[in-house]
Amino acid sequence: MPIPIFPDTLPVAGQRPNYSEQFPDLAIRTPMDVGEDKVRLGAPAGFRDQSVTLLLTSAQVAIFKVFYHETTRDGALPFEFPHQRTLETLLVYFKDKPRIGVAGGDIWLVSLEFESCDEVPPEPVAAIFLMEGLGVGSTPSDFLMGGLG
């Protein structure tokens, strides 16, 4: 089954004052009895949350409702949607049910909560080579956590 795309009959540019984005939490923090916490990379990928509010007409709200209920099966299926800041096409899921509010006249505010999976970029090959040369691990993360001795 092909991945659904957000309907091209609906606007994808959200209202800027209502946009927010939260980076994924990939680090694991371990408190120490003395000194600073140990922090390490815990996962190779994590979910980035985004909040977008669209201005839609009543006719567009009807199109959106069909997309949400039928195409994504009430938010159970992922779909393609452009990132509001970078315009990169992302595979997103609805994180929460959409909310519809009044903007005035025939215009409605549709608030959407998305999550998309972010992968951690690979570590530079040159850094891995240097760490192996020191004999303390195969990645910079191993080196940083293990130290030199």
CA 104 to chain centre: 31
**Residue 76 in domain:** yes
Distances (CA, A) of 25 to 49, 93, 122: 11, 18, 17
Whether residue 33 is contained in a domain is answered as: yes
Q: What is the pLDDT of residue 43?
A: 66
Asked whether residue 6 is domain-assigned, the answer is no
pLDDT tens, the chain, 149 aa long: 788 999 999 988 877 777 777 776 777 788 889 889 888 777 666 677 888 999 999 999 999 999 999 999 999 999 999 888 888 888 899 999 999 999 989 999 999 999 887 665 555 544 444 444 445 445 555 545 554 44
For 73, the domain range is 16-122
Write the burial class of residue 92 (CB in 10 Å: 0-12 exposed, 13-18 middle, 19+ buried): buried
